[in-house]
């Protein structure tokens, strides 16, 4: 199969969808891999390493896309990339369509087959291609939050662990999944006082058991969130309703109850954000202030630690990439019921219910497309 790996063009996105090790594996299986020159540079993978792995380097971006049957990316395609996509091609990448109507319609218009990393499932009901990036983002959320609490960033001037004689900061994490657990774990490690709120009792049980009472677990209700808003110095938004836009759990009105200089880190911004006042930011201007509260809402947090993230992401994507390359998308999805929900758009139609619901579109059962 002709496989293409374009260079990511989203602002400050340095990850790449395939490492030289991955390229070697695909070439070894008889596939042709074309990597856009410089695609791996930001993650520390030189062009020469891809060449040594048997990949073909291509400087002209149009030619990278043109001849490809399977396109591997990291972030959702940007407008100029959507324009390059055509019927007969398969795109495998993060899409997050439920928060992006124009992208959804653009992909439908392309006629291509679009498979999203984030809606592929596993036997435990988890999201195995979201998990590695969620781990990275969760861990980064506390680094970002701690930095935002500094006075020069508009924060309250609070040090997360406090010092002897000065109490540590209070951190609340809303959503105790992969992002939330990793954020809570980092905050605990830094000595903060940590509360995790979740709607899932089994999840709260797991956290309680795993951390032996070192973090507080609280069932997530409007009242519980209100209490966290009044008390905490740093709140991390880490909720997810798979494939759907994030619910707005902190309203603009509630900001008035927060301490001046407190910080909101909305990791769920890639699903539209879970705070009413969140709007996506980039690594060049990661924060802004609303009513005295610092907001950090970077939609591609793992891009800032591109090397770690690329390795973690490709460890998880490679089995799916090899299945797509070896068997083609129909057989690969037919053989794996957990791969099947990855299909979001095919030949002009939406195949993922939550995305269709978000925009009042009709959804087609992906199983019906497998022949």
- In the list 130, 160, 173, 192, the residue contacting ligand NAD (rule: CB under 6 A) is 130
Task: Check residue 194 for interaction with ligand NAD (CB under 6 A).
Answer: no
CB of residue 60 vs ligand NAD: minimum separation in angstroms? 30
301 is in an annotated binding site: yes
Are 99 and 297 within 8 A, CB to CB?
Answer: no
Give the chain's largest Cα–Cα span. 68
Beta-ladder partners of 36: 58
**Candidates 18-26, 32-40, 144-152, 261-269; binding stretch for ligand NAD (CB under 6 A):** 261-269
C-alpha 75/C-alpha 116 separation (Å) is 10
208 is in an annotated binding site: no
Q: Helices (H) and strands (E) in the chain — how many of each?
A: 13, 15
Task: Check residue 198 for interaction with ligand NAD (CB under 6 A).
Answer: yes
Cβ proximity to ligand NAD, 268 vs 332, nearer residue: 268
Query: Binding string to ligand NAD for residues 288 to 307, with x set by CB under 6 A, is what?
Result: -----------xxxx-----
CB of residue 74 vs ligand NAD: minimum separation in angstroms? 11
DSSP label of 38: T
Task: Check residue 271 for interaction with ligand NAD (CB under 6 A).
Answer: yes
CB of residue 11 vs ligand NAD: minimum separation in angstroms? 13
Are 70 and 3 within 8 A, CB to CB?
Answer: yes
Beta-ladder partners of 71: 4, 91
Across the beta sheet with 113-116, the strand order is: 56-58, 32-36, 2-5, 70-72, 90-93, 113-116, 343-346, 349-350
**Candidates 109-117, 146-154, 192-200, 252-260; binding stretch for ligand NAD (CB under 6 A):** 192-200
- The residues binding ligand NAD (CB under 6 A) are 130, 133-134, 137, 174-180, 197-200, 203, 220, 238-241, 246-247, 249, 267-271, 299-302
């Amino acid at each position: 199969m002709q496989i293409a790996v374009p260079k990511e063009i989203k602002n400050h996105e340095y990850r790449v969808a395939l490492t030289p090790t991955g390229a070697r594996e695909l070439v070894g299986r008889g596939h042709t891999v074309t990597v856009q020159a410089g695609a791996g540079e930001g993650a520390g993978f030189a062009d020469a390493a891809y060449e040594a792995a048997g990949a073909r380097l291509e400087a002209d971006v149009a030619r990278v896309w043109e001849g490809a049957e399977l396109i591997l990316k990291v972030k959702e395609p940007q407008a100029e990339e959507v324009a390059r996509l055509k019927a007969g091609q398969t795109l495998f990448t993060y899409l997050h369509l439920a928060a992006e109507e124009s992208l959804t319609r653009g992909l439908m218009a392309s006629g291509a087959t679009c498979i999203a990393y984030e809606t592929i499932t596993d036997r435990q009901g988890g999201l195995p291609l979201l998990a590695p990036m969620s781990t990275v983002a969760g861990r980064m959320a506390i680094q970002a939050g701690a930095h935002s609490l500094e006075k020069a960033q508009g924060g309250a001037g609070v040090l997360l662990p406090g010092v002897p004689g000065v109490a540590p900061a209070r951190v609340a994490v809303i959503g105790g999944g992969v992002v939330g657990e990793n954020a809570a774990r980092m905050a605990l490690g830094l000595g903060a006082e940590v509360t995790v709120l979740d709607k899932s009792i089994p999840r709260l049980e797991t956290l309680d058991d795993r951390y032996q009472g070192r973090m507080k677990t609280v069932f997530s209700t409007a009242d519980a969130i209100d209490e966290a808003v009044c008390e905490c110095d740093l709140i991390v938004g880490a909720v997810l309703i798979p494939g759907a836009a994030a619910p707005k759990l902190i309203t603009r009105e509630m900001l008035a109850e927060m301490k001046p200089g407190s910080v909101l880190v909305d990791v769920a911004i890639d699903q539209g954000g879970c705070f009413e006042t969140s709007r996506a930011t980039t690594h060049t201007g990661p924060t802004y202030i609303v009513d005295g509260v610092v907001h950090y809402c970077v939609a591609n947090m793992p891009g800032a630690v591109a090397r770690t993230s690329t390795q973690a992401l490709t460890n998880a994507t490679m089995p799916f990439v090899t299945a797509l390359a070896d068997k083609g998308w129909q057989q690969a999805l037919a053989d794996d019921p957990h791969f099947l929900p990855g299909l979001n758009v095919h030949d002009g139609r939406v195949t993922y219910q939550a995305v269709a619901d978000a925009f009042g579109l009709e959804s087609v059962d992906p199983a019906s497309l497998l022949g």
